[in-house]
Structure 1
Amino acid sequence: MPQFFEAAMLVCFGLSWPLSVVKSWRSRTTKGKSLFFEVFILIGYLSGIAGKLVTHNITYVFIFYIINVVMVVIDLALYYRNSRLDKLAAKEG
């Protein structure tokens, strides 16, 4: 039963990442985004993965950690793309 609740937590947190990725892609700006927030979230997910690996407790929940890490990494990549676009726009304006 604890795995169910852990999976539910990860799914609930994870639902926001695709929306964040789409917003980052469309907005083409870093305004309203926090690099530190995303890095700390990534560290949290990686810590969860490490905990699973260290305790040899790899269950179906593990895939939700992986999916969330992938989404955060995509959003971080878009953050850096958008940061570059913000700098180009500032030079032009």
Structure 2
Amino acid sequence: MDIFEAIMMVCFGASWPASIWKTIKVKNPVGKSIIFLWLVEIGYLSGIIYKISNPDWVIALYILNALMVGTDLVLTCRYRRMRARGELK
């Protein structure tokens, strides 16, 4: 059954690199929801905790996805602060 969980994680994770790239390129996080990003991050972190107690190889996908969401979250917060201070146009 791990294969189906892995497929789900790959499908969910496929969109994060594009989201990160767009955030870096545009430097305009308008329309991105911090709450949504935090909810997704908490979900991945919960999955990691579960996988620590029931280890298998899919934990690597949870970690990878959590890192990507965390990156997007940090970039979004950073660019919002920079825009609020007038450092970005």
Q: TM-score, normalised by structure 1?
A: 0.87
The runs of 5 or more residues in structure 2 that have no matched partner are none
- Alignment correspondent of 1:77: 74
Identity of aligned residues (%): 42
Pair 86,60 (structure 1): closer, same or farther in 2 beyond 3 Å: same
Question: Alignment RMSD, CA only?
Answer: 1.7
Deviation at 1:80, TM superposition (A): 1.3
**Cα distance in structure 2, aligned partners of 1:73 and 1:43:** 10
Larger relative helix fraction: 1
List structure 1 runs of 4+ shifted beyond 2 angstroms.
none
**Cα distance in structure 1, aligned partners of 2:22 and 2:88:** 23
Larger relative contact order (CA 8 Å, sep ≥ 6): 1
The runs of 5 or more residues in structure 1 that have no matched partner are none
Letter matched to residue 82 of structure 1 = Y
Deviation at 1:87, TM superposition (A): 0.8
**Cα distance in structure 1, aligned partners of 2:45 and 2:39:** 10
Q: TM-score, normalised by structure 2?
A: 0.91
Does the 8 Å contact 2:82/2:88 carry over to 1?
no
Letter matched to residue 72 of structure 2 = D
Does the 8 Å contact 1:30/1:86 carry over to 2?
no
